[in-house]
Amino acid sequence: MDDLQRWQTNEAIRRVIALYAQLLDSRRLDEWSDLFRDDARFRVYGQTFLGREKIAREIGSMQPPPDRPVKHICLTPVIDLDGDARALAWTDFTAFGTSEDGRIEIATIGRYYDELLRDDERWRFSSRTIVMANESLPSDLTPGPAS
């Protein structure tokens, strides 16, 4: 892979990560769920959801009501490419929520631990684990890139 291809691949992966937050916050769950492979795994709050349909149903049901919007802010991901069709990514994030009295407050902070695979020229999440700032890293996750 030459430098241009590496840059294009990194940009495609960054786009998937950014779309995750924007589509979820906009409650566009059909489009959001299409960011995941059919056999994807999603882990959050000690729960694991397997498969795109279950992920969409379960994560969609965790969203607050429309009168209490949430906004996910993702920092620049660190991406390690593993060949032409696999990548690992680590992305710090903050989620802001709306309190009952309408104030904006920090809902949570954490890091996404992602494995993405490319199929049919499109990158999708194969695995996404969310580790909140107060949680321990699961032993099967790579804590981050080597350098």
For position 14, which CATH number holds?
Answer: 3.10.450.50
Within a domain: residue 118?
yes
Within a domain: residue 138?
no
Within a domain: residue 92?
yes
Alpha helices in the chain (DSSP H): 3-25, 29-33, 52-61
Query: Taking Cα atoms as reference points, which of 106, 107, 105 lies closest to residue 63?
Result: 107
Query: Taking Cα atoms as reference points, which of 58, 29, 48 lies closest to residue 127?
Result: 48
> What pTM, to 2 d.p., does this model score?
0.93
Task: Output the pLDDT for position 60.
Answer: 86
Q: Give the tens place of pLDDT for each residue, 12-47.
A: 999 999 999 999 999 999 999 999 999 999 999 999
Within a domain: residue 12?
yes
* Sequential pLDDT tens for the chain (147 residues): 799 999 999 999 999 999 999 999 999 999 999 999 999 999 999 999 999 999 999 998 888 888 889 999 999 999 999 989 999 999 999 999 998 898 999 999 999 999 999 988 899 999 999 999 999 999 999 888 866
Task: Output the pLDDT for position 126.
Answer: 98
Q: What is the extent of the structural domain holding 96?
A: 3-132
Within a domain: residue 20?
yes
Within a domain: residue 69?
yes
Task: Output the pLDDT for position 107.
Answer: 93
Query: Taking Cα atoms as reference points, which of 26, 13, 130, 23 lies closest to residue 76?
Result: 13
Asked if 142 contacts 113 with a C-beta cutoff of 8 angstroms, the reply is yes
Asked if 55 contacts 125 with a C-beta cutoff of 8 angstroms, the reply is no
User: Amino acid letter at 139?
Assistant: S
How many domains does the chain fold into?
A: 1
Task: Output the pLDDT for position 144.
Answer: 85
Within a domain: residue 15?
yes
Within a domain: residue 145?
no
